Amino acid sequence: MRTLNALTLALMLVASAATAGAQTRPAASSPAVAVGPQYDTTHVYVAAEDFDRFVTSFVATFGGSTSKQGVFTVTPTPSSTMSQLVFTPVGTVSVFGFKTPIPYPFGSERTGYLVTDLDAAVRAARTSGADVIVSPFNDPLGRDTIVQFPGGVNMQLYWHTTAPNYVKLQTIPENRVYVSPDRADVFIRSFVAFSGGTVTGDDAKAPGLEIGRPSDTYRRVRIASTFGNIAVLVTDGHLPYPYGRELTGYETSDLDATLAKAKLAGVRVLVEPYSTDDRRSAFVQFPGGYIAEIHATLRK
């Protein structure tokens, strides 16, 4: 009987150790499917009548070039949109000006990430805990899908039949994701597992000035991967305008010079430049309504 009890205890200890290991072991990364940050675009939806004004102002602010403008069906259901890529040294945007009502859930995805294999990327997204909310479909250039990561963060994944070749960026844009404390850690684990990225910073008391609340602090997590950079802004949702409305942060070498160009191009400065920790930032609104953060790194 004593031998049986000892054996039972040993088995319990082994099971307990295995369970503990499962709880503390980091999530396994998915197979690498990212191509590079120059192929990752912020999706900008503007009214058709604002399309050209937005494109012109964006290039005037950051420099760069554009693809040929066209009218396409980019959804799996009938629709028609003006579409154009804007290439700048600080990030690429895909601009859409729908001529028809926008089919759901298009317009809610914040980015398009080019992947090496769409089917592998879908499997990786599901394995990491994301939902596939638009199943893969064909578009004029290849295939697309939309996935939703924990916390309600929608992103498009796309693959081109003919691999594109874009110039490398001078600076990597920052995908700015606002999530609640309830879902922040789940989102971070999910995206890190999907992207194969790393958490490069986790500040539990980041300056509240960064979210328009100078008397407070908040949690800010930064993630880097082959897809680019993500800032996870963990807040209670008590955000003054325009915080939370921006999708992307763009890094420039001279913030004042960039803002001067922006103003000449008809861009509104919503939040005047301010400095916190490692950067000096401002918020702007381009013609058509697109809001962005622009920053310059402070050298220490």
**Tens of pLDDT along the chain (300 residues)?**
444 344 343 434 333 333 333 333 344 455 689 999 999 999 999 999 999 999 999 999 999 999 999 999 999 999 999 999 999 999 999 999 999 999 999 999 999 999 999 999 999 999 999 999 999 999 999 999 999 999 999 999 999 999 999 999 999 999 999 999 999 999 999 999 999 999 999 999 999 999 999 999 999 999 999 999 999 999 999 999 999 999 999 999 999 999 999 999 999 999 999 999 899 999 999 999 999 999 999 986
Are 132 and 122 contacting, i.e. CB atoms less than 8 angstroms apart? yes
Share of the chain above pLDDT 90, in %: 88
The pLDDT value given to residue 29: 53
β strands within the chain, DSSP E: 41-45, 65-66, 70-72, 81-88, 91-98, 111-114, 131-138, 142-149, 153-160, 174-179, 198-207, 217-225, 228-234, 248-251, 268-276, 279-285, 291-297
Which sign does the torsion angle of CA 9, 15, 18, 22 carry? negative
For the chain, the helix, strand and coil percentages under 3-state DSSP, each to the nearest 5: 25, 40, 35
**Side chain identity at 202, as an amino acid letter?**
D
Q: How far apart are CA 158 and CA 143, in angstroms?
A: 6
- The whole-number pLDDT of residue 300 equals 66
Residue pLDDT, tens place only, 127-164: 999 999 999 999 999 999 999 999 999 999 999 999 99
Give pLDDT tens digits for 196-208: 999 999 999 999 9
Contacts with 250 (C-beta within 8 Å, 6 or more apart), sequence order: 62, 90, 91, 171, 173, 174, 292, 293, 294, 295
Q: Could you give the 3-state DSSP secondary structure of residue 38?
A: helix
